[in-house]
Structure formats: C-alpha cells, structure tokens
Amino acid sequence: MKYNKGFAMVALASVIAGILVVSGGVYWLKQNNINRENKIKELNSKEVFNDFTLNGNNCYDRSKYFIITRADLSGNAGDDILVKFKINKQQKIDCDYKVGEDDFEIKNSCTDGLNCYRAQHFSYIKDNLLIIDEGTGTSRSFIIYDLDKREKLFSDNYSAGLFELKENILNYWRKTNDIPNKENCSRVEEYMKMGGAKIEGKITLDISNPTDRKFEGFRCSYAE
C-alpha cells in the first residue's frame, strides 16, 4: 500500500487538535469550578437551605434574608449581589433582581465606592454575616459584611481549597510574608521552576469577632 504523507499529516493534526480541545475543556471546567463553586462548607449547619436558579438569576432563600445574584451586566467575571431583608421566614420573595428601597446591593464592578469589588460571588450567610468570595483563580480573597450595619466587617486573602465553617469558626489557608527557602520549603526549587512558591498559614477565625484570628500551622505551596 502506498504511503500517503499528506493524509498522515492531516490525521496527526486532527489528533493533536482533539487533545488540545479535551485539555482546554478540562482546564475550563477546572477554572469555572474554581470561579463559581468555591463556597464555604458549613459543618453541622442547622440552617434550612433553599437555593435555586430562575429568570437567569441564582437565588438563596434563608430564614432572615433572600439573596439574589446575577452575572455582571458588563461581561466581567463575577456577580452583582442583592440582599433582601425578610419580615419573617415564611415570606415569599420573587427571584427577580429588582433593587428596592430597603435592599442592600453590592455591585460587582464600578469606578469607586466601598461596596465595589470585582470577580465576586456569594459564598455564605451566617446569622447577620454575609460572606463574599472574590477572585478568578486559586489565590482569592473573601469579605465579611455585617448586614445589621450594612458595612464591611473584615476581609482577607486565602487559597482555594479548605474553606470550612463550624459554628462561628472559619478555617482557611492564607499567604504569609515569609520568604520560601530550603529550610521552610523542601520543594522550593521545584516550585520556583514552575513559577513561584509561597508560605501559607492555616487560620482559624471567629467570624463574629474577626480580631480573634489564630495561626494553627504552616505549609509551603506552589504560587501561580
């Protein structure tokens, strides 16, 4: 049989393209999961959850609040977040992003202002504390709002992964100012060749009293 070089090249190109498509799809799924699904996991929660999607919005019905999120209208990563205050836990509110006089809105992007962040997503609500996740990769940040006062209570950076709440104690990893070296990071050379290294501390934080923040351990990680 005569060898067809042109056919072989086309077949090889098709195989390579297929691999790239699959790899790209896996990467997109991984990034999309990081961007939108990195929510706090509460252990032993007694709250009744009712989360659903309607009218193109995501809605989170809680005993005291009804939260509505919508994709940024400008096409930026992240959501606008609207908090509606319920009269009682049985109150029914439409999953419709319409800002009322008594609502609390946090826009995803704008030019200035306190309640203005980029690439933000609703993460959790505990009692009167609203927690927003912010970021598009593994190095992220979160913001805690006091809904009674309608103001920012606390913010910090963290690494995607452990993000658990038990009662009022939040556990997460955050980057420290320590410089990675062979003594505190056995894989520092490997990480530096990949792009960078960082020293992180495991934090336990009382979200009702953010001044009570403790380091529970340290680790060296790859820095993207």
- pLDDT per position as a tens digit, 21-63: 334 443 333 333 334 456 777 776 777 778 999 999 999 999 9
Judge whether 76 and 108 are in contact, CB under 8 Å: yes
Closest by CA to 79, choosing from 106, 114, 112, is: 106
- Assess whether pLDDT exceeds 70 at residue 4: no
Q: Please list the alpha-helical segments (H only) found in the chain.
A: 5-37, 188-194
- Strands of the 197-206 sheet, one edge to the other: 41-43, 163-166, 169-175, 197-206, 213-222
Q: What are phi and psi of 18, to 5 degrees?
A: -65, -40
Count, residues in the chain: 224
67-105 pLDDT per residue, tens: 999 998 888 889 999 999 999 999 999 999 999 999 999
3-class secondary-structure state, position 106: strand
Least confident window among 114-118, 129-133, 150-154, 164-168 = 114-118
Confidence of residue 7 (pLDDT cuts 50, 70, 90): very low
Q: How far apart are CA 34 and CA 28, in angstroms?
A: 10
CA–CA distance from 66 to each of 45, 62, 81, 87, 104 (Å)?
Answer: 18, 6, 11, 11, 11
Least confident window among 4-8, 53-57, 93-97, 202-206 = 4-8
Q: What are phi and psi of 6, to 5 degrees?
A: -65, -40
The segment with the largest mean pLDDT, out of 14-28, 143-157, 207-221, is 143-157
Exposed, middle or buried by CB within 10 Å (0-12, 13-18, 19+), for 206? middle
What percent of the chain is modeled with pLDDT above 90? 53
The confidence score (pLDDT) of residue 161 equals: 75
The confidence score (pLDDT) of residue 114 equals: 54
147-200 pLDDT per residue, tens: 999 999 999 989 877 788 988 899 999 999 999 999 999 999 999 999 899 999
Q: How far apart are CA 102 and CA 83, in angstroms?
A: 9
∠ CA 171-33-75, rounded to 5°: 115
